[in-house]
Amino acid sequence: MPRPRIATASLAGCFGCHMSLLDLDEGILELAELVEFDRSPIDDYKEFQGRCTVGLVEGGCANEENVATIREFRRCCDVLVSVGDCATMGGIPAMRNLVPLDECLQEAYVDGPTVHNPGGLPPGDAEIPRMLDRVYALHEVVHIDWHLPGCPPSPEAFQAALTALLSGEPAALPPGLIRYD
Amino acid sequence: MSTTRRVVIEPLTRVEGHGKVTIRLDSAGEVESARLHVVEFRGFERFIQGRPYWEMPVAVQRLCGICPVSHHLAAAKAMDGIVGVDELTPTAEKVRRLMHYGQIFQSHALHFFHLSSPDLLFGFDSDPATRNVIGVAGAFPELARQGILMRKYGQEVIQATAGKKVHGTGAIPGGVNRSLTSAERVELAADIPRQKRWAAEAVAIARDYTLENLAFATEFAAFPSNHLGLVRPDGTFDLYDGVLRAVDESGEKILNDVEAGRYADVLVEEVRPWSYMKFPFLRELGPHKGWYRVGPLARLAVCERIATPEAEAARVQFDEAMGGRPGTMSLAYHWARMIETLSAIEEIEQLLDDPDIEGDDLVRKGERRPESVGVIEAPRGTLFHHYVVADDDTVMRANLIVSTTSNNEPMNRAVESVAKKFLTGTEITEGLLNHVEVAIRAYDPCLSCATHALGKMPLVIEIQDAGGRTLAEGKRNS
């Protein structure tokens, strides 16, 4: 029987959830014996290689590229999990939802004390994706099957959730593994 | 008629954050241009305005989950100034340093073993299916395990000092909120001999790789540059604190030990339209001559010595291999990075041996000040946090120059140089494109960190739920 495939992605997050997954330490090698890693920033698959049993996505959606990625994960994964506070709620990046965009542009690219910008315009180019009006939690964009909260979720929470999901069980975690820090 | 061909590498993998490379070739297959674009943004500098200053060490570290300790400590150092504390208690200073060296150790181990070693061990154009840490574990199980346990050790040092492996809370304005327990100290000290041995072995692996491939490394993304980093006032390597020093390609000082708080007098960041990441340069030299490298290669170029014995011996050997001049090879970053890893574990050993690390005098207070700058050597290079705080204790202004931003120009030069050398007039294969990524990876970029600044106009987007109902519509102003 082929091993179940897992894909991961980091959108508008900080990679800390991926770090917490790697904090399984030797456990990550044990996991690799049970599953096949598909598309992920920690390997060199830039596209999906096949249908995945579980997709783990950290970070919310802040630009058009994030939206395209989460939609592709929804298409290619049986079970899609939003991982961490940014994916489940927008997190710290969603603090920008409280600020008018023009002020942000002005601060970062014109007024900052070390800015050198003779043209006076913020970056804008066909090669960089366009931003969304605000930061969205993943469940606002696609259907999400499970939410794994925490900043980041602990390695034990990853372990418990993956063990359940890979054996087709609900990822119902005990209270000690659920936190919102 | 234009017959320009565009090749895109996206997403960049085995690097942290979101970036892509675009390469343009003319009809003859000559590379016209090659660029590294950073394609995400956050907006920290603006959206933390109005927040209380004591939130900064925990809020701003959410820039980066790989090196959160760097942002945690740079913000805390700035907040020391805000609460009027110029010198921490010995325990606070040592606990923070221990946290920082733990972070250097884990971040460098992660980069070398988990992210970069597949390129070095299997070859740049090896099978992408095994070009990852699991592939390394299959072919070199002992080495992979060693890398994993080195990273684990660094994370445990962070947990003991910050309370948590990722996004901890140990540093506060004016000091720390915890010191080590005896049990933690004993447990961490017990693993030191093994970790030191592994770190020394990692230096040897990176050294041998560089020396055995010297001819290649001097042709691969190699170019002279200025270098910038912190040093102690006597020129000794220091990752936690110091003065700003920059040297030119011959090693001459061009920024002569400037107090870190004066960074804005000497550094500026250029905005270019095609990337959210800015391009810093030394103000006095201008954008064309003033760009510089940061990180391990630059730190070994600006320092005169390392305080710990094994790392100093390794540095001397490195310096000889570089011909006594600042390094030019992007691939030499790996060797320099492992020397720093060795220095970090030697520092950790000394701190665990120091009774102050269990002390209970944790915080000092002083006269509130309106403005302060915190600077630290993060794993990827010099990191600047600058805050202005209002009388009501809320942040009025913030300016952050993160490490990877300073390597923007060097990484773009590395990308262009590799593209021109390896992709011109040939069939472009996956393996050749990985050469471009190898050049970027050498700098260990943290593209999440580098995208704290906000840019670009919003886009029209319709968000639908799984049933096709419209949940929200975004706007675009441009």
How large is the average pLDDT for residues B79-102?
98
Same domain, B346 and B446: no
B445 upstream amide cis, omega within 30 of 0: no
What percentage of residues in chain A have a pLDDT greater than 70? 100
**pLDDT surpassing 60 at residue B475:** no
* B398: its two tokens: 């913030």
Is there a single domain that holds both residue B122 and residue B28? no
Whether B194 and B336 share a structural domain? yes
Contact B119, B330 (CB under 8 A): no
Same domain assignment for residues B333 and B209:
yes
Instruction: Point out the residue among A42, A131, A132 whose CB comes nearest to the CB of B132.
Output: A42
With beta carbons under 8 A apart, name residues in chain A contacting B35: 127
Among residues B39, B49, B44, B1, which one has the least CA distance to residue B18?
B39
Residue B232 lies in a domain: no
Instruction: Judge whether B263 and B386 are in contact, CB under 8 Å.
Output: yes
pLDDT band per the 50, 70, 90 thresholds, residue B452:
low
- What residues have CB less than 8 Å from B475, skipping those under 6 apart? A133, B458, B460
CATH of the domain at A156: 3.40.50.700
At A102, give phi and psi (nearest 5°): -55, -40
Q: Report how far residue A131's alpha carbon sits from residue B456's, in angstroms, rounded to the nearest whole number.
A: 7
In a domain, A37, yes or no: yes
Residue B231 lies in a domain: no
Mean pLDDT over A122-134 rounds to 86
Q: Do B109 and B213 fall into the same domain?
A: yes
Q: Is the C-alpha dihedral spanning A24, A26, A28, A33 positive or negative?
A: negative
Radius of gyration for chain B, computed over Cα atoms and rounded to the nearest angstrom: 22
Mutate to test the interface with A, among B151, B167, B385, B405 (most CBs of A within 10 A): B167
Q: Are residues B195 and B95 in the same domain?
A: yes
Residue A108 in contact with residue B401, Cβ under 8 Å? Answer: no
B380 touches A at CB < 8 Å:
no
pLDDT at B420: 95
**Which residues sit opposite B38 in a β-bridge?**
B19
Does the CB of B154 have a partner CB in chain A at under 8 Å? no
Whether residues B17 and B120 share a domain: the answer is no
**Tens digit of each residue's pLDDT (9 = 90 or more) over B413-445:** 999 999 999 998 888 899 999 999 999 999 999
DSSP state of B114: I
> Is the CB of residue A29 less than 8 Å from the CB of residue B81?
no
Q: Taking the CA atoms of chain A, what radius of gyration do you get in angstroms?
A: 18
Are residues A64 and A11 in contact, defined by beta-carbon separation less than 8 angstroms? no
Residues B43, A108: C-beta atoms closer than 8 Å: yes
- Residue A140 to residue B274, Cβ atoms within 8 A: no
For an interface test with A, the pick among B274, B412, B454, B465 (most A C-beta atoms closer than 10 Å) comes out as: B454
Distance CA A24, CA A32 (A): 12
A52 part of a folded domain: yes
Residue B397: pLDDT over 70: yes
The answer to whether the Cβ–Cβ distance between A116 and B463 falls below 8 Å is: no
**B55 close to A (CB below 8 A):** no
Residue A135's alpha-carbon distances to B56, B260, B357, B472, in angstroms, are 21, 34, 42, 12
Contact (CB<8Å) B268/A104: no
pLDDT tens by residue, A11-62: 999 999 999 999 999 999 999 999 999 999 999 999 999 999 999 999 999 9
User: How does residue B467 score in pLDDT terms, banded at 50, 70 and 90?
Assistant: very low
Question: In the block, which residue shows the tokens 């991926």?
Answer: A18
**pTM to 2 decimals?**
0.94
Residue B159 and residue B16 share a domain: no
Contact across the interface for B46 and A99, Cβ inside 8 Å: yes
Q: Using DSSP, how many helices (H) and how many strands (E) does chain B show?
A: 18, 16
Query: What is the number of structural domains in chain A?
Result: 1
Compute the average pLDDT of residues B46-59: 95
CB contact under 8 A, B134 and A181: no
- Strands (E) in B10-160, as ranges, are 19-25, 31-38
Residue A110 lies in a domain: no
Question: Could A29 and B144 be called an inter-chain contact, meaning their C-beta atoms sit closer than 8 Å?
Answer: yes
CATH number, domain at B142? Answer: 1.10.645.10
Tell if the CB–CB gap between B271 and A25 is shorter than 8 Å: no
Q: Which domain holds residue A84?
A: 5-95+131-167
Cβ contact B239:B304 at 8 Å: no
> Under a CB-based contact definition with an 8 Å cutoff, are residues B244 and B230 in contact?
yes
For B200-232, the pLDDT digits (tens) are 999 999 999 999 999 999 999 999 999 999 999
Q: Find how far residue A142's CA is from the centre of its chain.
A: 13
Instruction: Check residue B2 and give its pLDDT.
Output: 58
**Is B58 a member of any domain?**
no
Tally of domains in chain B:
2
Does the distance separating the beta carbons of A107 and B46 come in below 8 Å?
A: yes
- Measured between beta carbons, which residues in chain A are less than 8 angstroms from residue B166? 16, 19-20, 23, 152
For residue B38, list chain A residues with Cβ-Cβ distance below 8 A.
128
Contacts of B121 in chain A (CB under 8 A): none
Please report whether residue B287 resides in a domain. Answer: no
Query: Are B461 and B335 members of one domain?
Result: no
Task: Provide the mean pLDDT of chain A.
Answer: 93
Q: CB neighbours of B210 closer than 8 A, spacing ≥ 6?
A: B217, B321, B329, B331, B332, B334, B335
Mean pLDDT, to the nearest integer, of B256-280? 93
As a whole number of angstroms, the distance between CA B4 and CA B6 comes to 7
User: CA B334, CA B444: separation in Å to the nearest integer?
Assistant: 9
* Gap between the Cα atoms of A136 and B434, Å rounded: 33
- pLDDT on residue B474: 37
Q: How far apart are CA B286 and CA A7, in angstroms?
A: 45
Q: Evaluate whether residue B282 is within a structural domain.
A: no
Q: What are phi and psi of B330, to 5 degrees?
A: -60, -35
Q: Is some CB atom of chain A closer than 8 A to the CB atom of B86?
A: no
pLDDT reported for residue B451: 63
Yes or no, beta carbons of A101 and B17 under 8 Å apart: no
B406-416: per-residue pLDDT in tens? Answer: 999 999 999 99
Query: Which H or E run includes B314?
Result: helix B309-321
CA distance A62 to chain B (A): 8
Of B28, B8, B168, B96, whose CA–CA distance to B374 is shortest? B96
State the burial class of residue B212 (Cβ atoms within 10 Å of its Cβ: 0-12, 13-18, 19+).
Answer: exposed
Cβ distance B278 to A62 less than 8 Å, yes or no, reads no
Kindly state the percentage of chain B with pLDDT values over 90: 84
Range in A62-76, B235-249, B451-465 the model is least confident about:
B451-465
| pLDDT class of A171 with cuts at 50, 70, 90 | confident
Q: Is the pLDDT of residue B313 over 60?
A: yes
Helix (H) or strand (E) holding A63: strand A61-63
H or E segment and range at residue A125: none
Beta bridge partners of A115: B269
Distance from CA of A92 to the nearest CA of B (A): 7
Q: What is the pLDDT of residue B342?
A: 98
Q: Which residue range(s) make up the domain with B443? A: 5-40+412-476
Asked whether residue B462 falls in the same domain as residue B347, the answer is no
